[in-house]
Amino acid sequence: MNYEVTIGLEVHCEVKTKSKMFSPAPNNYNENPNENISEIDLGFPGILPIANMEAVRKSILMAMALNCKLPEKMFFDRKNYYYPDLPKGYQITQNTKPVGINGYIDVYVADKVKRINIHDIHLEEDTASLDHYDTYSLIDYNRAGVPLLETVTEPCIHSSEEALAFLDSLRRIFLYTNISEARTDRGQMRCDVNISLAKKGSKTLGTKVEMKNINSFSNVKDAIEYEIKRQSELLDSGEKIVMETRRYDDTTGKTYRMREKVENLDYKYYIEPNIPPFKITEKLINEIKEELPMLQFERINKYINEYELSLYDATILTKNIETALYFEEVIKKGVEPKIAANWINTRILGYINKEEININDCTFKTDDLVELIGYINKNVISTKQAKDIFYKCLEENKKPSIIIKENNMEQITDTNAILSVIKEVINENLDLAKSYNPERGRTVDFFVGQVMKKTKGKANPKSAMDLIKEELLKLIQKN
């Protein structure tokens, strides 16, 4: 392709609070329309919106997570436009002083680090939701007034992979910090994509096309890829790109023109006079800073550098904070990081993903994993047995030690006990034993098999093999 793609994203994410941004109506998902509303959400005359402290705190926390510069005071603005999803005729948002500006996050795109610059992040109220039918539209105001954080990137993204890596990282930050549940299936996280193509080496950006309200990450990827193809074909054939807003249809996988964007709409922004500015004090900043956990990107790097894990393992372990904390607790209790990572990434995550539960709800706690790995290290059980014990622990909700005892699973590590079984097996197969050739391993394998059979798999295989070799050698030397 002869063109360089430039993408900027605007991501809306609903903030998790008990009440709405400016009203005391509940902020929770309700399938029954128009039940989560107050007169403030409906824009009745004489209303007085008062900002929700929790939403303000969470917006500051997110601004910190995105390394943004905070304003000294929290201001809100009115964005005026006329549409049925907005009963007041304006949306309370932040324009003059967003809660965060000039930030960045680093993300992994495949195995490379890419810095995504954040233009700003601002706190606002969500609009009502509209359902459109053939001749009419229906309005549900449940969503009107839900606190919403909009993150706006700089036009610094150059592929669908980078866009997706950013969206995934952003979503993980919302989850790590408990700012939002960030569920795309409930429309809690929605994305506008601005995309332009310019000739490679060109110093100016191409004409921008906007795609509004894309509701899943895979749709963002498909929409971007479709637009790259559509725009490059137009440019190849000498045509011009029109500045417009397009809609992505996931059933056809294509984008369709919604309206030509002649110039930016004049929203006649002005500072919301009903909400006095709120000072963001040093004390408040310090309090909120305490709540900021180590985020995924830093954790990945820590796991790679300190624990010598692969990027792949570190990424899986840090996908959610609960798993990361589980892993860290296990290694704090003395387990080798690589062994802990293997167990968690394969067995434990395999199980909780299948059961669709959170790692904190899994009955196999960190102590159980530490205990189980301890038994392997002490040769009490084999790795294979450990896997069986793990599943039995989950099935029967019992500790590893109980399962081992109840099923008589301890390995025989006592050399004398193993030796007496070996002698028995050799006597039973004396001719074969006498034909033992140390150059060929098959005889040893046969005897190991026999010993394991007699001990019901409990003999430590390594000790058994070493002892068999010794005994067979002694036998042929004697003859």
Partner 1 sequence: MITKELLKDYANKLMFDMKDEEYQTLLKEFDVILKQMDLISNIEGINQVEPMTFPFELQDVELRKDENIRTITKEDALSNTDSKMGNEIRVPKVVE
Q: Residues 3, 4, 42, 387: which binds partner 1 (CB under 8 A)?
A: 42
The reply to whether 266 sits near partner 1 by the rule CB under 8 A is: yes
Q: Which of 7, 37, 165, 340 binds partner 1 (CB under 8 A)?
A: 37
Is 75 near partner 1 (CB under 8 A)? yes
Q: Please work out the total of residues on this chain that contact partner 1, with binding judged by CB under 8 A.
A: 46
- What does the alpha-carbon distance between residue 166 and residue 188 come to, in Å, rounded to a whole number? 17
Nearest to partner 1 of 27, 345 (CB atom): 27
CB-facing half-sphere around the CA of 439: CA atoms within 13 A: 0
Does position 38 bind partner 1 by CB under 8 A?
yes
CA dihedral of residues 233, 1, 241, 202 (deg, nearest 10): -160
Q: Tokens representing 307?
A: 């624990």
Does the protein bind partner 1 through residue 285 (CB under 8 A)? no
By beta-carbon proximity to partner 1, the closer residue of 75 and 108 is 75
Query: What is d(CA 16, CA 183) in angstroms, rounded to the nearest whole number?
Result: 11
In the list 19, 196, 318, 411, the residue contacting partner 1 (rule: CB under 8 A) is: 19
Residue 90 CA: distances (Å) to CA of 41, 72, 80, 142, 151: 12, 25, 4, 17, 20
CB of 244 to partner 1, least distance (A): 14
Does residue 326 interact with partner 1 by CB under 8 A? no
SS3 86: coil
Query: Burial letters for 390-406: b for 16+ Cβ neighbours within 10 Å, e otherwise?
Result: bebbbeeebbbbebbee
Stretch 129-188 residues interacting with partner 1 (CB under 8 A): 130-141
> Could you tell me the sign of the dihedral formed by the alpha carbons of 257, 261, 266, 267, in that order?
positive
In this chain, which of 2, 18, 213, 456 binds partner 1, going by CB under 8 A?
Answer: 18
321-332 and 366-377 are packed helices; what angle lies between their axes, rounded to 10 degrees? 40
Alpha carbons 71 and 123: distance in angstroms, whole number: 13
Interface mask toward partner 1 for 118-137; x: CB under 8 A: ------------xxxxxxxx
In whole angstroms, how close is the CB of 320 to partner 1 at the nearest point? 24
Residue span binding partner 1 (CB under 8 A) among the ranges 5-13, 29-37, 288-296, 430-438: 29-37
Shortest separation between residue 131's beta carbon and partner 1, angstroms: 8
Query: Which residue reads 């190849």 in tokens?
Result: 236
Q: Interface with partner 1 by CB under 8 A: which range of 113-121, 273-281, 338-346, 375-383? A: 273-281
| DSSP one-letter string for 211-264 | EEEE-SHHHHHHHHHHHHHHHHHHHHTTPPPP-EEEEEETTTTEEEEEEE--S-
If the CB atoms of residues 6 and 38 are measured against partner 1, the closer one turns out to be: 38
Asked if 432 interacts with partner 1 (CB under 8 A), we say no
Residues that bind partner 1 (CB under 8 A): 17-19, 24-26, 32-39, 42, 50-56, 75, 82-84, 130-141, 265-266, 271, 273, 276-279
